[in-house]
Amino acid sequence: MATSGFTTSILVDQSTEEVFDAIMNVQDWWFGDIKGNTKQLNDEFSYRVGEVHFSKQKIIGVVPQKRVEWLVSDSNLGFIKDTAEWTGTTISFDISKEGNKTRVVFTHHGLLPELECYDACSNAWTEIIQRSLSSLIKTGKGVKIF
């Protein structure tokens, strides 16, 4: 597994169980048209925002309260030349205790600075994780970013 890519993290007061459950409820924090299942190993789901973004993810790793990993099996990013830049990349959520808090480290493995979508995609992921996922964990309600 490639370890290089874009990373951002959040630190919250909630338990690892609450954090894990929020991550698995993708439609509550990654706003767009989500089709498919997002709850367990081998589930597949797609994410779409008009003609701008389409991606299909398969959940390839689940360690309850510790880690979730997705494989991006297909993508069509309509705002760049190589619309399939995400295809074959992986996305991970690593969950750990830090004292009485819980840290989530989000990494999009393969989302590298030399890619055309890096600036837009890393900025979007930062907003989605730090604002929407964080809000869902803390308040029970995600924030629509776009």
Domain ranges in the chain are 5-139
Strand order in the sheet with 5-12: 5-12, 101-109, 90-98, 67-77, 53-63, 44-49, 33-36
Residue type, 72: V
Q: What is the pLDDT of residue 1?
A: 41
Q: Give the C-alpha separation, 65 to 19, whole Å.
A: 7
Q: What is the pLDDT of residue 2?
A: 46
> What is the domain class of 5-139 according to CATH?
alpha beta
**pTM for this one?**
0.94
Average pLDDT of adjacent 10-residue blocks, the chain of 146 residues = 82 98 97 95 97 97 98 97 96 97 98 96 97 97 88
Q: What is the pLDDT of residue 145?
A: 83
Q: Give the C-alpha separation, 86 to 105, whole Å.
A: 19
Q: What is the pLDDT of residue 3?
A: 55
